[in-house]
Structure formats: C-alpha cells, structure tokens
Amino acid sequence: MKTCRIAIIGGGLAGLAAANALRTHGIQAEVFEAAAELGEIGASVNCSPQAVKALHAVGVGPQVDAIGHKSPGPVTRNMITGEFLEYTNRFELAERYGMPYYCFHRADLIDALAEPLDRAHIHLGHRLKSVDVKDTGVSLHFTNGTQVEAEYVIGADGVKSVLRQALYGDDNPTFTGQMVWRALLKAEVVPADCLEPHGHVQWVGPGRHLIAYYIRQNRLVNIVSQVDSDVWEEEGWAIKGDPDLMRASYPDAEPRLVKLLATVKECSKWGLFTRPITNNWGFGRIQLIGDAAHAMVPSVGQGACMAFEDSYILGRWMNKCADPLEAFEHFRAVRIPRVHGVQNLSNSANKFKHMADQEKQKKEIKSGNGTHGKIDWVWGFEPAQDWDKVPTNVPAAYANPA
Ligand SMILES: Cc1cc2nc3c(=O)[nH]c(=O)nc-3n(C[C@H](O)[C@H](O)[C@H](O)COP(=O)(O)OP(=O)(O)OC[C@H]3O[C@@H](n4cnc5c(N)ncnc54)[C@H](O)[C@@H]3O)c2cc1C
C-alpha cells in the first residue's frame, strides 16, 4: 500500500480510538504503529464517565463494558501518618453522570479498541522516521524503508511525536522532574488490609504520591506512583526498576504502605515527560491528537480520557465537513480550550498531592481543591451533545490563554 487518504500514525489508545471513530462514519484510515505487536503494556488506566461515553460513541461500548473494572474510587491517606484525608465515591459519580468510572488493564483496552478494526488496515512494525509536507499531501517515511503518500495525517504517536517534531522543531518533550514507579501484582499476594476499605487507596506525602487498586475483576493490583526526582529518568513503559529503590522512595511511609511495598518483587520505572501547554496541535494536512498534542502529568488520570474525547470529536468533524482541513480547524477550536484547562488542572492536583505542609493540604480539601481539584466540568462533559461547542465552563483558575 503506497497511497492512502487518511493515515493515523500510532496504534496506541488515541490512534485506535480515532480509527474506530472514523469507522463509525464509514471513513477508512490506515494505522501505522511502530511496535511489532499491539498493546504489550502491563499497566492500568483509569477512565472517567465522560471518556467512557466517548468510547461508547466510537463504537466500542460492549467491548469496554466487558473488560472494565468498576472503580470504587480512592480513599486518600496521609503517607506518613496514615490519617484518612478524603474519599471520592466513584459509584456515586457513575450514578450522577450515567456511566461507570472504569479501571482497565491497558493491554485489555488496546485489545478492545483493536477488535472492531480490520487488521488489514493496521500496519505494525512501521515506525515513522520523517515526513515531507507538500501541497498535495504528506510523504511518510518509515524506518523499515516503506514510503506512503497520504492526503491527510492524524498524529497519535505519543509524547515523543515525530510529527510534532517535524512541524514545530524545538518544541521538545520536557522532563517534569518526576519519576514513576509502577508494579502489577497478583491480588493474592497483597494483604487485603493494605487496600481497605474499598480496594482503592492513595497515599499523598511530601514530593510523592502512590495509588494502588484492583483491576481485572480483583485479580490484579496495580501500583503507580509519582516521585519528585532530580534524576533524569528515561521515558518508557518497559524499563525495569529495582524494587528496593522503589521502597527507598518512601522512607517514612505508614505501616500499611510499607506492608504493600514489601510484596513488590518486580517493578518498572520511567521519567515523566510532558509537552508545554501550547496551541501546537498541528496545521494544514496534519492533525495531532492524544499525547502528541497535549501530554499531561497523570495526576487526575485524564491523558487517555482526553485522547478518547479527541478521537470521537475529530470523527464527528470529519464526518460533518467535506474538507478535512476545515474539520481539523473546527476540531482545534473546540478542543484546545478544554484540554488546556485539563492540563492546568492536572498540574494543580499534582501540587496538592505532593504538598509538604499537611495542614495546608487539609485546608485545600475543605475548599474543594483535593485529589481531583474542581473537576465536575471535566467528568460532566457530554461528548455526543457538546462535541461542536467551544467550552465555556473551564474554571478561571485552569483557563489558559496560551
Ligand atoms: C504513570 C501514568 C499513569 C497514567 N494514568 C492515566 C489514567 O489513569 N487515566 C488516563 O486517562 N490517562 C493516564 N495516563 C496518560 C495516558 O497514558 C496517555 O495520555 C495515553 O497513553 C495517551 O495515548 P496516546 O495514544 O496519545 O499515546 P501513547 O499511549 O504513547 O501511544 C502512542 C503510540 O504511538 C506509537 N508510536 C510512537 N512513535 C511512533 C512512530 N514514530 N511511528 C509509529 N508509531 C509510533 C507507540 O508505539 C504507541 O503505540 C497515565 C500516564 C502515565 C505515564
């Protein structure tokens, strides 16, 4: 295949969701993914109700409902004293917003997104190396020697996007000064009291936080943590870490957390990279989505959620506008203000979780700026009703005039 109308670069969460969104409108895209296989990622991802609605709307509702673990929501504790700080009841959220809050195993979610797609249009082992943008289309050059002429390109190639680099040059991913420790454990090795009372717990402390919860219908426990760090860590899902160093990142942890960390025999680590908050979401024939457009710190669990919203909304515009260039412009006009707000919210929640001053942290909770900050405007979004509207509900504290 040497030519195509629409190429999607990246077969991750954003790329596959976008391929589904286009499919629901009868638009065939070719997906080019660097990896030799889809979805070999042993980690989890949370998905809030509005993003689950977007997944339903791109046609994978039955698949995600079959694999989603209905999240009870985190009990937040002080990492040092173990003191209870707050509880976000996600079962109540599900009732309020009319859709569950799910935790997924990433590999399961990738499988769910890939299932309705025709594999003949997913080209594995295709790592984009460079692009030439011409008046008539875009030449895509892959490291395996393949060259493809595409009329339009959707860039879903993640935080280190080659397409974004090609368009904007010096707009590089930047190290956030945080590293992530992650472990996936069999549930039977984790003492249940570590995760009580609901099976989903979050410890917050000076310069670090750690979250642990069940996935795959209580068969696995996912641990994910962010730690402020001067060390420049590599980015990636499969970099092996040392469990003793992971434990050493929590020298003053309360007994339940110590007990939980003692069960970790294997872990991975990576440096958190994001992009500056800008309007550099693509132009002309290239539209970026997901982390390629707006990588954010995962402190309110919205990176993938925004990618699912992107995918659905891009599909709607591409269905509505005969000219994809026009569709891309409309897409950016409605998406950028909302996603900038979510990026700012994520940074703000990160500061809350890593506060050294415990009294100040409690005051923040009382004023509604706890674990998720002021987030109703994010979770309450209705993709099917609001896809074509420029958002007017981003709180001033998070609005970004960039
Ligand atoms: C620790 C952590 C926890 C998180 N938790 C949550 C959460 O709970 N909820 C949530 O909503 N978000 C969460 N996120 C954010 C979420 O993981 C990302 O926002 C999401 O994965 C973005 O999807 P994507 O498809 O844009 O990028 P990616 O997932 O990075 O996928 C990019 C794809 O493109 C491919 N690719 C890359 N370069 C090329 C190339 N040159 N050519 C071809 N293919 C290429 C990659 O192989 C990959 O398959 C978390 C992030 C981290 C780091």
- Per the structure, the complete domain to which residue 139 belongs is given by 3-42+106-173+276-386
CB 190, CB 214: distance < 8 Å: no
Q: Which residue has the tokens 């009329």?
A: 151
Question: Could you tell me which of 58, 92, 154 has the C-alpha nearest to residue 384?
Answer: 58
Q: Which residue has the tokens 């001067």?
A: 230
Q: Which residue has the tokens 């962010």?
A: 226
- Residue 160 alpha carbon to ligand 1 centre in Å: 10
Question: Considering the domain boundaries, does residue 178 fall inside one?
Answer: no
Which residue ranges have their beta carbon within 6 Å of ligand 1?
A: 9-15, 32-35, 45-46, 126-128, 156-158, 162, 180, 224, 272, 290-292, 298, 301-305, 307
- Expressed in angstroms, the distance from the first to the final Cα of the chain is 40
- Residue 10 alpha carbon to ligand 1 centre in Å: 9
C-alpha Rg value of the chain to the nearest Å: 21
Three-state SS letters, 99-111: CCCEEEEHHHHHH
Question: Considering the domain boundaries, does residue 289 fall inside one?
Answer: yes
Question: Considering the domain boundaries, does residue 23 fall inside one?
Answer: yes
- Residue 13 alpha carbon to ligand 1 centre in Å: 6
* CATH number, domain containing residue 307: 3.50.50.60
Element (H, E) at 384: helix 383-386
The number of distinct structural domains making up the chain is 1
Q: Which DSSP state fits 133?
A: E
Instruction: Specify the pLDDT at position 401.
Output: 46
Question: Considering the domain boundaries, does residue 20 fall inside one?
Answer: yes
Give the pair of three-digit tokens for residue 203: 């410890």
Q: Which residues pair with residue 268 across a beta bridge?
A: 182, 240
Q: Which residues pair with residue 391 across a beta bridge?
A: none
Instruction: Specify the pLDDT at position 331.
Output: 98
pTM over cut 0.75: yes
- What is the rounded CA–CA span in Å between residue 252 and residue 112? 40
- Residue 110 alpha carbon to ligand 1 centre in Å: 11
Q: Each residue of 64-89: pLDDT tens digit?
A: 999 999 999 999 999 999 999 999 99
Closest ligand 1 atom to Cα of 226: 1
CB 46, CB 303: distance < 8 Å: no
Q: Whose CA is nearest to atom 51 of ligand 1?
A: 298
Instruction: Specify the pLDDT at position 304.
Output: 98
Instruction: Specify the pLDDT at position 279.
Output: 94
Give the pair of three-digit tokens for residue 111: 């499988």
- The amino acid occupying position 174 is T
- What is the rounded CA–CA span in Å between residue 149 and residue 324? 16
Question: Considering the domain boundaries, does residue 227 fall inside one?
Answer: no
- Residue 20 alpha carbon to ligand 1 centre in Å: 17
- The amino acid occupying position 315 is G
Q: For the chain, how are helix, strand and coil distributed in percent, rounded to 5?
A: 40, 25, 40
Question: What b/e readout covers 68-85, taking b as 16+ CB neighbours within 10 angstroms?
Answer: bbebbbbbbbbbbeeeeb
Question: Considering the domain boundaries, does residue 51 fall inside one?
Answer: no
Q: Whose CA is nearest to atom 48 of ligand 1?
A: 12
Question: Could you tell me which of 179, 35, 57, 32 has the C-alpha nearest to residue 107?
Answer: 35
Question: Considering the domain boundaries, does residue 371 fall inside one?
Answer: yes
Q: Whose CA is nearest to atom 35 of ligand 1?
A: 10
Q: Which residues pair with residue 46 across a beta bridge?
A: 103
- What is the rounded CA–CA span in Å between residue 347 and residue 194? 28
Residues lower than pLDDT 50 in the chain: 401-402
Question: Could you tell me which of 103, 110, 113 has the C-alpha nearest to residue 24?
Answer: 113
Closest ligand 1 atom to Cα of 11: 49
CB 18, CB 289: distance < 8 Å: yes
Q: Let me know the angle formed at the C-alpha of 124 by 122 and 130, rounded to the nearest 5 degrees.
A: 100
Question: What b/e readout covers 230-262, taking b as 16+ CB neighbours within 10 angstroms?
Answer: eeebebeeeeebebeebbebbeebbebbeebbe
How buried is 300 (Cβ within 10 angstroms: 0-12 exposed, 13-18 middle, 19+ buried)? buried
Instruction: Give, for ligand 1, the residue of 30, 38, 45, 233 to mutate: max count of ligand atoms closer than 8 Å to Cβ.
Output: 45
- Residue 236 alpha carbon to ligand 1 centre in Å: 10
Closest ligand 1 atom to Cα of 304: 11
- What is the rounded CA–CA span in Å between residue 331 and residue 75? 37
- Residue 296 alpha carbon to ligand 1 centre in Å: 10
Question: Could you tell me which of 59, 64, 71 has the C-alpha nearest to residue 108?
Answer: 64
Closest ligand 1 atom to Cα of 162: 41
Kindly give the residue spans of alpha helices, DSSP state H, lying in 9-57: 13-24, 49-55
SS3 3: strand
- The amino acid occupying position 24 is T
- Residue 123 alpha carbon to ligand 1 centre in Å: 18
Question: Considering the domain boundaries, does residue 101 fall inside one?
Answer: no
Instruction: Specify the pLDDT at position 235.
Output: 63
- What is the rounded CA–CA span in Å between residue 14 and residue 102? 17
